[in-house]
Structure 1
Amino acid sequence: MEQEKLGETGWRGSREGWLEAAYESLVEAGVDAVRVLPLSKRLKLSRTSFYWFFADREALLAALVDLWRDKNTGNLVKRTESYAESIAEAILNVFDCWLDQQLFDSRFEFAVRSWAQQSADVAREIDAADTARLQALQAMFVRFGFEPFAADVRARTIYLTQIGYISMKTEETLATRMARIPKYVEIFTGQMPTPSEMVRFCARHGFVQAQEASGGAAQ
């Protein structure tokens, strides 16, 4: 038993290590770079050790899709269901995904969407993810009293805006993004977030707001 345990995490590496290397290759260079021999060189492991954890390259690619689905779609749906006292606060919960790579990995999203252009199976995964995410956003609006059609349009406006950010690889400083977020919330929901809602949101992301009145820092 001890020898078997050592074999799983020793010179063969680990399943998580191979998957992490595959992820890095995917986001850096696309799916064509996700191949066993280059990964083994990257990890400084034998090529045969790969097969201890995955039956073949297709199994590794399937694991990457599972990882993407669980992380990006799973976390986005959870944020739409998080507790909020107003629709503005609910949208800020969703916006956590756009600022926290641990919740929603935009590099991973871009890589998988690029991959879908050459794989019908991955394209179907993208379609299913888009549907699930939009339905979750729509349900969030309905929960706050919006009628279903209006909720659907608002959900699409939010989601397609963010996918545009990802597709264009838009880069903003945290200060610039934070300055724009209250207006985004107003456009998406019809109401501005309260100062206390913004303070809580900024605190979650380690951002200290400037106090408009005194020029000092928010506590």
Structure 2
Amino acid sequence: MREAPAADTGWRASPDIWLEAAYGALLEGGVEGVRIQSLAERLKISRTSFYWFFKDRAAILEALVARWRETNTGHLVGQTERYAETIVEAMLNVFDCWLQPALFDPQFEFAIRSWALQSPPILHEVREADRLRLEALDRMFQRFGFDPGEADVRARTTYLVQIGYISMQTAEDLAVRLERIPNYVRIFTGHAPGERDMERFLSRHRAST
């Protein structure tokens, strides 16, 4: 990738600005909305700026997929590996993803999965992400003593419920969702969270309510 001279930065924008515009277009109109001319109009700059940072439309689409992979899959896997003393605490670490879009972006997830319905290569990306995420959850359960068969089913239950929320575009008031979390944790792990578990968890999210 070539570096733009400092004097031209305002005119050419930056790769991150182009990528952010592409992200917004994908969420609003699907992959067909991610067009070089429409992105240039969105940014109010010349389309020639685009080619300073990306070879073609395929390159910025690849960058979008990489961003999704790093954000949603990378963070979810990371949350399963965070330190936890119990499976309840580990599960609440994972639940941070469902309440913090910076960790797991549900709109981005929906847009990528919608794109996958018309693109075999993106479908392959989605299936690979599903595999990596499920394996990470499976390892988390096994780390706390669950046998492989039970860990597999609990991992699938945990993950597929959340993907169902996203795929169905379920609208749920945050306060209601927080109220349901203790029962979700008990069902997914077989253990009810204690008051201290929930207090620590809610303290991380209370500012959002």
Q: Which amino acid aligns with 2:33?
A: A
1:49: which partner in 2?
49
Task: Confirm or deny: 8 A CA contact 2:4 2:52 kept in the other structure.
Answer: no
1:100: which partner in 2?
100
Q: Which amino acid aligns with 1:40?
A: A
2:174: which partner in 1?
174
Q: Which amino acid aligns with 2:6?
A: K
Secondary structure of 2:153's aligned partner: helix
Instruction: State how far apart, in whole Å, the 1-side matches of 2:174 and 2:161 are.
Output: 18
Instruction: State how far apart, in whole Å, the 2-side matches of 1:50 and 1:123 are.
Output: 27
CA RMSD of aligned residues (A): 1.5
Q: Report matched runs for 1:62-73 at 5 Å.
A: 62-73=62-73
Instruction: State how far apart, in whole Å, the 2-side matches of 1:203 and 1:168 are.
Output: 28
Gaps of 5+ in 1: 210-219
2:7: which partner in 1?
6
1:151: which partner in 2?
151
Question: What is the TM-score normalised by the length of structure 2?
Answer: 0.96
Secondary structure of 1:101's aligned partner: coil
2:201: which partner in 1?
201
Higher gyration radius (CA): 1
Deviations 1:90-142 (CA, angstroms, capped at 9, x unpaired): 00000000000000000000000000011111000001000000000000000
Tell me the CA shift for residue 3 of structure 1.
7.7
Instruction: State how far apart, in whole Å, the 2-side matches of 1:5 and 1:92 are.
Output: 45
Task: Confirm or deny: 8 A CA contact 1:30 1:115 kept in the other structure.
Answer: yes
Task: Confirm or deny: 8 A CA contact 1:202 1:208 kept in the other structure.
Answer: no
Tell me the CA shift for residue 207 of structure 1.
5.2
> After the TM superposition, which parts of structure 1 deviate over 3 Å for at least 4 consecutive aligned residues?
none
What is the total number of aligned residue pairs between the two structures?
A: 207
Task: Confirm or deny: 8 A CA contact 1:98 1:104 kept in the other structure.
Answer: yes
Secondary structure of 1:206's aligned partner: helix
Instruction: State how far apart, in whole Å, the 2-side matches of 1:30 and 1:139 are.
Output: 34
Question: What is the TM-score normalised by the length of structure 1?
Answer: 0.92
Instruction: State how far apart, in whole Å, the 2-side matches of 1:202 and 1:3 are.
Output: 45
1:127: which partner in 2?
127
Task: Confirm or deny: 8 A CA contact 1:11 1:45 kept in the other structure.
Answer: yes
